Amino acid sequence: MKESTLSVLVEDKAGVLARVSSLLARRGFNIHSLAVGPTSEPHLSRMTIVVEAPELEQVKKQLNKLVNVVKITELDQVQTVEQEVMLIRVASGGGKRTEILELAQIFDATPVDVSPSSIMFSITGPPRKVNDFLDLVRPHGIVELVKSGRVALARDAKNRRAKAV
Amino acid sequence: MTMTGAQVLIKALEFEGVDVVFGVPGGAILPAYDPIHDSPIRHVLARHEQGAGHMAQGYAWATGRVGVCIATSGPGATNLVTPLADCLMDSVPMVAITGQVATTAIGNDAFQEAYTTGITMAATKHNYLVTDVADIANTVHEAFHIAATGRPGPVLIDVPKDVLNAEVEWADPVSLEMPGYKPTTDPHPRRLKEAVRRIEAAERPVLYVGGGIIKAEAAEALTAFAEVSNVPVVTTLMGRGAIPDSHPLTLGMSGMHGTYTATTAIQKSDLLIAVGVRFDDRVTGDPEYFAPGAEVIHADIDPAEIGKVRAAEIPIVGDARKVLEGFLAAWDDRGTPDRTDWIETIRRWQRDKPLAYDQTPDGPIKPQYVIEEIHRLTKGDAILVAGVGQHQMWASQFWKFEEPRRWLNSGGLGTMGFAVPAAVGAKAGMPDELVFAVDGDGCFQMTFQELITASVENIPVKIAVFNNGVHGMVRQWQRLFYDERFSGSELGTSDIDYVKLAEAMGCAGLRAATADEVAPAIEKALAVDDRPVVIEFVVDPDEMVWPMVPAGGSNDIVLTGPEDL
Ligand SMILES: Cc1ncc(C[n+]2csc(CCOP(=O)(O)OP(=O)(O)O)c2C)c(N)n1
Ligand SMILES: [Mg+2]
């Protein structure tokens, strides 16, 4: 099913995350990832929600009915900057360390913890890049990993127009 | 002046113009009960919080104002879940106030603690946990605003006991900034013009209208527009009374138990003008086969309803009254279209497939006959309340509704037990009106204890109990779809003495077991005005609700009686 990214500006009130996630669950929309954090406005938070839903219009309309939801923007892949952080611990025993570190360098993944048998990397970037790195290190053996969930913002409107020309 | 949070709460209710609240006290909400004692607000002590909730709901439906109910924490709050969900489904404005354990105890499984805001999150339009005494008055103000505006609905305010006991200066509530709550009420003028153009040009248009008309006080505008555009009107269950049944353009209710004509008119129409409706499955049957040849104009205050079930060629977000008045204004000097062919076709259906039943003088009482007799003897001048089941469908079919806000039932949630408490709430709000409930015996046995409330509080409602001894609607499905295996649908109470039961609760009790006893029993009931009255009608357990479109079926196939099976 198609994935869509919604940028949802919400009032920073108790329970607002529960309201959003419970609504999506109740209406049968699948949450792929959900990241939430403060914005530059003190009373507002931004949620970046990646959903799988056949009817995105319905998702947006239902979310809009929540009193604490202020604004919803649907972000299309092209006009959006999307970033994700992944921490991943890769098995590095058996003389594979150099090979793994070379791979990491190509991807700008930073080693943040090293032990005799494994290395933990931090990698930031568009989901595509993060996933590619993941695929490449997978054969070496993944001990543990965590992803932040996607955060995204629309590109500047002016640039958008310039691009279209 | 320094006041406690509890005093602020009650004063805030007074500030909103509340005249009656329905509730049950308890530990966590006790501080709020103390100032109620001195308040001009009437407190009606329900016997169960579900009753209190449905009373507030009945009050809201009948008066058009926000209904208020109060309960304590834990079990008090959980008992409110059904009426909250009911109000959410049927868009009824209600404010529920619940006590909560002290903020210091929240999360510790304290005595009578329940996660009320969590439990009711999906059963309310919005809810609050107030943690600062300084927020109480504004929260109440905001809650009333949210409950009553846009698409109306229930709002719950959970107040911990220590917040109720804390002290604060009273300040008149101010309208708070709600950046995420701005309902669109004004329809787009271009859409209205476009809609009117299509309505004029349509050959077989139908107005399909529902509860939104009643909430928006749009009944007059609806009738006026139907007349000028010469478009027949089909109502949903919740929309009964939106246009007088005596009006020649009225086709009645459509859908699962709608009239053949109403259901078929929608199926054959080329333009559906849907206003204040949500294409509920009881109306549409299988949506794939619903009104296959129709373009759709869909106007609703809730944008999420538009396109949810059926795509609309012309979507209009707005208040139903403003939409219909906008249609009228945009209609301008178009004149009234000649739709003779369409109306003639409809008249033929009406002649060929009327609602019917057969009351023989010596046979068992037919429930439809009771409804027609109540209507005749009250001249239809009553607020009619129904439970959920066969009796509800017969009430909506055989009563003649002439005005809005005089038909109360649980449509979307279908809550058995709604009728008695909703009738009590309606009567509390409209004491000069005759409030008559038609209840099934199964439903009655769920909430009849609220008749004790009615007699103690001197709220003289009339309750007609249809004693068929069974969960009739369940039994009807078992007869049709489960080979007549009547599993779990026999109440075993055909012989219960409803007269004694009524009298034990301080009500008058009456009984009619044969057709010729029906009218005298109703007349006697109407003569009682100092107590609630229960009239037991012993009705035919084998009577079926017709027409019927089996659940999920196509509305092209309307079964009008056993011969159609
Ligand atoms: C609270 C609740 N429980 C169960 C049902 C399912 N249900 C729908 S109608 C019905 C039977 C209603 O029986 P009764 O009140 O006697 O009305 P009748 O159909 O006999 O007129 C039942 C059990 C329901 N709607 N609500
Ligand atoms: Mg029954």
Which atom of ligand 1 is found nearest the CA of B476? 19
Closest listed ligand to the CA of B472: 1
Same structural domain, A50 and A95: no
The CA A120 to ligand 2 mean position distance, Å, reads 68
Report CA A79 to chain centroid distance, whole Å: 16
Structural domains of chain A, count: 2
The protein residue with its alpha carbon nearest to ligand 1, atom 18, reads B472
Question: DSSP secondary-structure letter at B227?
Answer: H
Question: Does any CB of chain A come closer than 8 Å to the CB of residue B118?
Answer: yes
Please give the sequence-ordered ranges of beta strands (E in DSSP) within B318-434, or none if there are none: 383-386, 407-408
Whether residue B125 and residue A67 make contact (CB cut-off 8 A), yes or no, is yes
Sign of CA dihedral A62, A63, A66, A70: negative
Name all domains of chain B by residue range, CATH numbers in brackets: 2-169 (3.40.50.970), 189-352 (3.40.50.1220), 367-546 (3.40.50.970)
Whether residue B178 and residue A67 make contact (CB cut-off 8 A), yes or no, is yes
Same structural domain, A20 and A53: yes
Side-chain half-sphere CA neighbours of B340 within 13 A: 1
Find where tokens 């199964």 sit. B442
The pLDDT score that the predictor gives to residue A158 is 63
The pLDDT score that the predictor gives to residue A54 is 84
| Sequence-distant (≥ 6) Cβ neighbours of residue B558 within 8 angstroms | B260, B263, B264, B353, B547, B548, B549, B564
The pLDDT score that the predictor gives to residue A156 is 84
User: Is residue A159 over pLDDT 60?
Assistant: no
Encode chain B (565 residues) as per-residue pLDDT tens digits.
899 999 999 999 999 999 999 999 999 999 999 999 999 999 999 999 999 999 999 999 999 999 999 999 999 999 999 999 999 999 999 999 999 999 999 999 999 999 999 999 999 999 999 999 999 999 999 999 999 999 999 999 999 999 999 999 999 999 778 999 999 999 999 999 999 999 999 999 999 999 999 999 999 999 999 999 999 999 999 999 999 999 999 999 999 999 999 999 999 999 999 999 999 999 999 999 999 999 999 999 999 999 999 999 999 999 999 999 999 999 999 999 999 999 999 999 999 999 999 999 999 999 999 999 999 999 999 999 999 999 999 999 999 999 999 999 999 999 999 999 999 999 999 999 999 999 999 999 999 999 999 999 999 999 999 999 999 999 999 999 999 999 999 999 999 999 999 999 999 999 999 999 999 999 999 999 999 999 999 999 999 999 999 999 999 999 999 888 8
Of B146, B179, B302, the CB nearest to A11: B179
| Sequence-distant (≥ 6) Cβ neighbours of residue B542 within 8 angstroms | none
Whether residue B121 and residue A66 make contact (CB cut-off 8 A), yes or no, is no
Side-chain half-sphere CA neighbours of B359 within 13 A: 15
The CA B411 to ligand 1 mean position distance, Å, reads 13
CB B313 within 8 A of CB B271: no
* A164 occurs within a structural domain: no
CB B259 within 8 A of CB B555: no
Q: Domain residues for A144? A: 82-152
Among residues A44, A75, A106, the one where a domain terminates is A75
Residue B29's SS3 state is helix
Catalytic residue ranges of B: 49, 111-112, 161, 473
The protein residue with its alpha carbon nearest to ligand 1, atom 2, reads B416
Which CATH number covers residue A38? 3.30.70.260
Which CATH number covers residue A115? 3.30.70.1150
Among residues A19, A54, A75, the one where a domain terminates is A75
Q: For an interface test with A, give the residue of B89, B115, B126, B157 to mutate (most A CBs within 10 A).
A: B126
The pLDDT score that the predictor gives to residue B92 is 98
Of A22, A62, A70, the CB nearest to B304: A62
Helices and strands per DSSP (H, E), number in chain A: 5, 9
The CA B350 to ligand 2 mean position distance, Å, reads 29
Cα angle for residues B184, B187, B191 (degrees, 5° grid)? 140
Residue B444's SS3 state is helix
The pLDDT score that the predictor gives to residue A162 is 44
CA distance B19 to B428: 10
Same structural domain, A9 and A50: yes
- pLDDT tens for A40-80 read 999 999 999 999 988 899 999 999 999 999 999 999 878 89
- What's this model's pTM, rounded to 2 decimal places? 0.96
**B73: which 2 tokens?**
């924490």
